[in-house]
Chain A
């Protein structure tokens, strides 16, 4: 019990709050973070030699950011923090990491995965031109490095991040060519009852849009992307779209930031052999969890954006809740009241999450309309046409089968960025529900790692199991 080995993956809001609870219970958890600094995606800390004030970096969220950073700074002596460390695989009871070219096998009694999210992407013709970035990448460029992705940037996609990153660009002095949202405005009205679960967040969002408009930035809803125009040599020169009125227009820009809300980073859950289920509202496969974040695998807990896109506040609550669940499962006394309060928080956040999904839906129908020559898998340069061909002519009606035949999802990103769009393209091509196409199975390593890696000295010869 006291000697329980608990590992937290991630040092974002979920991971930090999980570690805090575990440290409080005297467990000295190991905290694994691929990045070098804590804070995670939203409260990403800038490199040491940068000195922008929190108000500049985190805007309205500055207080929460500094609170989280302070919490983690205060934990440093009570947790075994391992930055620049990638969790590349999980086998039963063992997490496998690589840090500066050294691999290590770390046994655990409980593993709390707080791996966050990445952009959810829908291809558009021309998105492989240089100058096209995901919203997240555009934001990281700004937050970590204080640079813009272009001189004149167009924002395309849907979801709160679209407006947020655009306004951060605007505030940083970049020229914003416009914000182009594929979701029709009416859906926001429809989703209002759910969005009212968090009135303050809703108000912040509305203020954000108002601010963009006040700054004279065009904000359009209900658009359909047609093409990112440009040439391979010169990169992006414009964004072509069909507006709400049905007119096809080209917006001049030299960079496009693209994203359709978020998708959880679920490979570790997948490698840990957790069950997944299709979530019809968001049209994606999510790991199944109970109210406290327990996965289907005993000892493996999932929290934060890596399980459900609850946002930063939700991630803090879910991280804490998962840690309490782990403590309880390990035999510690945990007061019911604490758990109940966090459950109520998470439930409210989840209602808001569903509101966002309703207001800013994944534009599944766009996949069907993509011209055949559109690149879907950017790692392997495979087009929508090729994917349709293997689905129709070769009978590859399942995601992994289509990958085997076409290489979609076989590249460096292992389908994390093209997998969901690929499934929609297959489903549309053969006229079947997208859930029947399934999902790409996660395969180690979670991210590429170098052949130069060697096991940490004391690890040589460790046996993780015996061949059957």
Chain B
């Protein structure tokens, strides 16, 4: 145990990790009047939260996650007003198309099931799809349309939460890497690599792909694997594609998704993931993966056939074996909470996760069901 010095700061809650999860949690804790310390190793929103595809998509999610996703979607709708900054959320709709008959059935079933969770999806047949969204390629057999989903700018969203939290009184420490988290008596003592210490009776670990390093210190490691989804962006083109498009398929190589921003660039991702090295904070795009994306992009939107790619990138994301995040209270230590390991789909959830975690920490319970995400599911024995 570390010698106890005068802590650099103390508060009701310490949040470790300034991605969208941590930054939004800090913001909503302040909304509830809790004092908060937000600790970030680099800069707020610099990791997965800042480099992701920007999909604010609910359809296709694990059904029991929809209440959380719906709650998040509602916050996205009033984000600018809440934060006083524009994160470029555009509810332009989201379409999942498919190329195979059996997949049409899968989309139909999902649409039916999602309705009971309050998510209305419209199934659109082949011809109607082409009439309403003429840019979609002729191979698409059907589409599932979610009119109220859309996309946002990941480069802006998490930093906007961080700044709004700071304006509302959160103590935000960037360039602060946490080495040791421990409970001493009633309080958590959180120590940075440079020796600074922070103290609070509640601790939220929201450290993304690095969360398991910290949860391990409380005897709760998780069996994650880490990968880098492969992204790219084209040169600016006339703004024609409003909704976000994605392919629903069981063949990994066929998966591609894209969105066009009003500036004109088309951002895309999908297919096989690339290598990511959390210890080095590096992730890479494999050129083969980019090359495999190209025919799929053209298949989805044939008009893209001759446009130029100007940049590719990736980011570091943790995946759990069941493709669900770790969220909720610790199964071992009172006052300890987790929100990490979002398996490639955490950007949409971010605002909702912040709101739910703040509610859980402040009120001791939340109206949004979190059981499927409990860390207890990974406990040995």
Residues of A within 8 A of B (CB): 89, 91, 94, 96, 103, 105, 380, 394-395, 398, 401, 404-405, 407, 410-412, 414, 443-445, 448-455, 461-468
Partner of A414, one of B226, B228, B304, B310: B310
* Of B155-163, B182-190, B337-345, the one touching chain A: B155-163
- Tell me which residues across on chain A come within 8 A of B288, comparing CB atoms: 105, 455, 461-464
Task: Output the least CB separation between A402 and chain B (Å).
Answer: 11
Q: Is the Cβ of A405 less than 8 Å from the Cβ of B155?
A: yes
A-B contact pairs, 8 of them (CB 8 A): A404-B50, A449-B308, A450-B307, A450-B308, A451-B294, A451-B304, A462-B288, A468-B277
Contacting residue for A448 out of B235, B286, B304, CB 8 A: B235
Q: In whole angstroms, what is the CA distance A103 to B286 when docked?
A: 13
Contacts A451-B309, A462-B288, A463-B288 given; 16 further ones with Cβ under 8 A? A394-B159, A394-B163, A401-B43, A404-B50, A405-B159, A407-B263, A412-B310, A443-B313, A444-B285, A449-B308, A464-B287, A465-B284, A467-B272, A467-B273, A468-B227, A468-B277
Contact yes or no, A451 B311, CB < 8 A: no
Cβ B310 vs Cβ A452 within 8 A: no
**Residue among A91, A105, A398, A412 making CB contact with B284, cutoff 8 Å:** A91
Complex contact A467–B274 (CB within 8 A): yes
Instruction: State in angstroms the CA–CA spacing of A452 and B284 once bound together.
Output: 23
Chain B residue numbers with a CB within 8 Å of A404 are 50, 155
A91 touches B310 (CB 8 A): no
List residues 304-325 of chain B with CB under 8 A from any CB of chain A. 304-313
A467 and B43 contacting across the interface, CB-CB below 8 Å: no
Candidates A380, A395, A448, A454; contact of B294 at CB < 8 Å:
A454
Residues of B within 8 A of A464 (CB): 286-288
Query: Contact at B156–A443, with CB atoms within 8 Å?
Result: no
Q: Are B286 and A91 in contact (CB under 8 A)?
A: yes
Closest to B310 in A: A448
Q: Is the CB of A451 within 8 A of B156?
A: no
| Contact flag A451-B310 (CB < 8 Å), given A103-B291, A401-B43, A467-B272 | no
Q: Give chain A residues whose Cβ lies under 8 Å from the Cβ of B307.
A: 450-451
Q: Which parts of B45-59 form the interface with A (CB within 8 Å)?
A: 46, 50
Q: Does B221 contact A (CB under 8 A)?
A: no
Given contacts A443-B312, A445-B310, A450-B308, is CB(A91)–CB(B297) below 8 Å?
no
A451 touches B226 (CB 8 A): no
A242 to chain B, nearest CB (A): 36
- Of the candidates B276, B291, B311, which one forms a contact with A455 in the assembled complex, judged by CB atoms under 8 Å apart? B291
User: A450 CA to B306 CA in the complex, in Å?
Assistant: 6
* Distance to closest chain B CB from A195 (angstroms): 40
Complexed CA–CA distance, A124 and B263 (Å): 24
Using CB atoms, name the residue of chain A closest to B273. A467
Which B residues lie within 8 Å of A465 (CB)?
A: 275, 284, 286
A467-B234 Cα distance, complex, nearest whole Å: 25
- Chain A interface SS verdict (over half): loop
**Cα distance A90–B312 when bound, in Å?**
13
- Measured between C-beta atoms, what is the minimum distance from A103 to chain B in Å? 6
Main secondary structure of the interface of B (DSSP, over half): mixed
A361 to B277, CA, bound (A): 40
* Residue of A91, A412, A467 with highest tally of chain B CB at under 10 A: A467
Are A411 and B308 in contact, with the CB atoms below 8 A? no
CA distance A467 to B275 in the complex (A): 4
Q: Check B298 for interface membership: any CB of A closer than 8 A.
A: yes
**A455-B291, A467-B273 as given contacts; A445 in contact with B311, CB under 8 Å:** yes
* Smallest beta-carbon distance A84→chain B, Å: 16
Given contacts A445-B312, A465-B275, A468-B275, contact A451 B287 (CB under 8 A): no
Taken together as a complex, chains A and B put the C-alpha atoms of A380 and B236 apart, in Å, by 9
Residues of A with C-beta under 8 A to B159: 394, 405
> Which residues of B in the span 238-290 have a Cβ within 8 Å of any Cβ on A?
263, 272-277, 284-288
Collect the chain B residues with CB atoms within 8 Å of residue A94's CB: 287
Contacts of B304 in A (CB 8 A): 451
Question: CB-CB < 8 A to A455: which residues of B?
Answer: 288, 291
Note all chain B residues with C-beta closer than 8 A to A105.
287-288
The complex places the Cα of A337 from the Cα of B313 at a distance, in Å, of 45
Bound Cα distance A453, B294 (Å): 8
* A89, B287: Cβ atoms closer than 8 Å: yes
Interface-central residue, A380, A395, A454, by most chain B CB under 10 Å: A395
B314 to chain A, nearest CB (A): 10
Asked if B310 and A411 sit within 8 Å, CB to CB, the answer is: yes
Given contacts A411-B310, A462-B288, contact A452 B235 (CB under 8 A): no
* Chain A positions within 8 Å of B226 at CB level: 468
CB distance from A99 to the nearest CB of B (A): 14
Q: Contact: B308 with A444, CB < 8 Å? A: no
Contact B275 A466 (CB under 8 A): yes
With both chains docked as a complex, state the minimum distance between the C-beta of B52 and any C-beta of chain A, in angstroms. Answer: 12
The listed residue with most A CB atoms (<10 A of its CB), out of B297, B298, B310, B313, is B310
Q: Which of B109-126 contact A (CB under 8 A)?
A: none
* Nearest-neighbor residue (CB-CB) of A413 within chain B: B310
List the B side residues contacting A451 at CB < 8 Å: 234, 294, 297-298, 304-309
Q: How far is the CB of A32 from chain B (nearest CB, A)?
A: 15
Nearest Cβ on chain B to A375's Cβ, whole angstroms: 15
Residue of chain B at shortest CB distance from A466: B275
A444→B312 contact, CB < 8 A: yes
CA distance A334 to B299 in the complex (A): 53
Of A103, A398, A414, A467, the residue contacting B311 (CB under 8 A) is: A414
Closest A residue, CB atoms, query B45: A404
Across the two chains, which residue of chain A brings its CB closest to B290?
A: A444
In the complex, the chain A residue whose C-beta lies closest to that of B295 is A454
Closest A residue to B155 by CB, please name it.
Answer: A404
CB distance from A182 to the nearest CB of B (A): 31
- In Å, the complex CA distance between A82 and B323 comes to 46
Give every chain A residue within 8 A of B310 (Cβ-Cβ).
411-412, 414, 445, 448
The one of B156, B228, B277 in contact with A405, judged by C-beta atoms closer than 8 angstroms, is B156
Instruction: Give the complex CA separation of A468 and B227 in angstroms.
Output: 6
Q: Closest CB of chain B to A453's CB: distance in Å?
A: 7
Residues of B within 8 A of A380 (CB): 263
- Output the nearest chain B residue to A441 by Cβ-Cβ distance: B313
Q: How far is the CA of A89 from the CA of B314 in the complex (A)?
A: 15
Contact digits for B159-190, partner A, Cβ 8 Å, 1 yes 0 no: 10001000000000000000000000000000
Distance in Å: Cβ of A164 to nearest Cβ of chain B: 32
By a CB distance below 8 angstroms, the chain A residues around B298 are 451
Contacts of B295 in A (CB 8 A): 454
Which residues from A are CB-within-8-Å of B43?
398, 401
Min Cβ gap B307→A in Å is: 5
B45: min CB distance to chain A, Å? 8
Quote the shortest CB–CB distance from B349 to chain A (angstroms).
21
Given A404-B155, A452-B306, are A91 and B287 neighbors across the interface (CB < 8 Å)?
yes
- Kindly state the separation between the CA atoms of A105 and B289 in the bound complex, as whole angstroms: 13
Given the known interface contacts A405-B155, A468-B276, the answer about A448 and B287 at a Cβ–Cβ threshold of 8 Å is no
Q: Which residue of A lies closest to B307 (CB)?
A: A451
Q: Which residue of B lies closest to A445 (CB)?
A: B309
Contact residues in B for A407 (Cβ distance below 8 Å): 263
Q: CA separation between A464 and B163, bound complex, in Å?
A: 40
**Max chain A CB contacts within 10 Å: which of B43, B274, B287, B311?**
B287
CA of A208 to CA of B237 in the docked complex: distance in angstroms? 45
Most buried by B among A103, A394, A450, A461: A450
Q: In the complex the two chains form, is A449's CB within 8 Å of B309's CB?
A: yes
User: Known contacts A412-B235, A448-B235: does B306 contact A443 (CB below 8 Å)?
Assistant: no
